[in-house]
Amino acid sequence: MKVVAAPDKFRGTGTAREVAAAIGRAATAAGADCVEIPMADGGEGLLDVLGGPDRTTVVTGPLGAPVEAGWRLDRGTAVIEMARVAGLELAGGADGNHPLDATTAGVGELILSAVESGAQRIVIGMGGSATTDGGLGALDAMGSPARYRGVELLVACDVRTRFADAAEVFGPQKGATDAHVRMLTGRLERLVQVYGERFDVDVSTLDRAGAAGGLAGGLAAMGAELVDGIDLVAEELRLDEHVADADLVVTGEGWLDATSYEGKVVGGVGVYAAAAGVPLLVVVGGAEPEVADRDGVVSLSERFGMARAMAEPTALLEIVIGEALARG
């Protein structure tokens, strides 16, 4: 029997790699073969599942202080995770963030560094951002667009929000008050005009352009392609090939809700499993009531209690996987 382990991270309790390894241990103990494919959807964890950092560059952090940002360069392809440069955690969370001042300048500095280091293809992961600057800080730091001719820029998005909606949708979780949201929305609407005049691109019409507080839209104005992060990662890791002859696909994440099936890892992996006609098991830390009863969903917190689910998620994962394989 072949099992494919393709989970997202369990935020705060286990990385995607740790979760995949737990699934692998359970499968091996049950006598099955397991292919471990830790996944990400373009947010935090993207760099780790695509090989991990092998370089470090000091760049401008979200609130102006320098940060050491890990990134990857391999055979001409660079992988950058914006959360490691301009992430909300770096800004001290919602309480420590300054929503009007948070900048993506460091992301642009890192993209420029990647090009100067020889990158011809750059994957930039969105998600976990402190910023709502529409990517203006990044574009200013990147310099002349001529420098990027012949360089493929791929922006891995975990949401499909439009550019001018970014402040209203994501601003509050970044510490923005209602007044901040109105000001930030006005800034984004003005940037739609600026980017149209400067690059002849209407970012207001692009799905995903609101990712990372509009950074995705700013990069699109510079010629980047906006893609669903889950599909990009699946293609890079050849998920479809591994699923094609599998007997069971296991995925999961820390918290399951309706958005998990809209461009996130759980939904994306489910699409690949369904296309191949392979059963899907979704093991999660917890779940919203409206999705908890979906076929194939097992909630660790519901089964074992929230305290155990938070304290020992990988051990509980092994129990659930072992039981599922024993049932056949």
What value, to the nearest 5°, has the Cα angle with vertex 325 and ends 323 and 328? 115
Stretches in the chain below the pLDDT threshold 70: none
- The whole-number pLDDT of residue 262 equals 85
Q: Phi and psi at residue 99, in whole multiples of 5°?
A: -55, -35
- The whole-number pLDDT of residue 328 equals 74
Q: How far apart are CA 277 and CA 36, in angstroms?
A: 19
**Segment (H or E) for 139:** helix 136-142
List the one residue out of 99, 73, 7 whose CA is nearest residue 45: 7
Tell me how far the alpha carbon of residue 255 is from its chain's centroid.
Answer: 15
Cβ atoms 288, 253 nearer than 8 A: no
Q: Residue 15 is which amino acid?
A: T
Q: What's the half-sphere exposure (Cβ side, CA atoms, 13 Å) at 260?
A: 27
Cβ atoms 18, 314 nearer than 8 A: yes
- The whole-number pLDDT of residue 12 equals 85
Strand partners, 68: 58
User: pLDDT digits over 190-211, tens only?
Assistant: 999 999 999 999 999 999 999 9
What value, to the nearest 5°, has the Cα angle with vertex 320 and ends 314 and 324? 140
Q: Residue 314 is which amino acid?
A: T
The mean pLDDT of the chain is 96
Which residues touch 156 (CB under 8 Å, ≥6 apart)? 41, 42, 46, 123, 124, 125, 126, 227, 228, 229, 232, 233
In 54-188, which ranges are E strands? Answer: 55-60, 66-74, 77-81, 121-125, 152-157
Cβ atoms 76, 122 nearer than 8 A: no
Cβ atoms 260, 280 nearer than 8 A: no
Q: Would you state the structure tokens that stand for residue 50, as one six-digit string?
A: 């695509």
Q: How far apart are CA 74 and CA 276, in angstroms?
A: 31
Q: Would you state the structure tokens that stand for residue 257, as one six-digit string?
A: 């809700």
List the one residue out of 75, 97, 73 whose CA is nearest residue 86: 97
List the one residue out of 266, 214, 268 whose CA is nearest residue 99: 214
Q: How far apart are CA 230 and CA 290, in angstroms?
A: 23
Q: Would you state the structure tokens that stand for residue 56, as one six-digit string?
A: 């470090």
Domains of the chain in start order, with CATH, are: 2-39+238-327 (3.40.50.10350), 46-230 (3.90.1510.10)
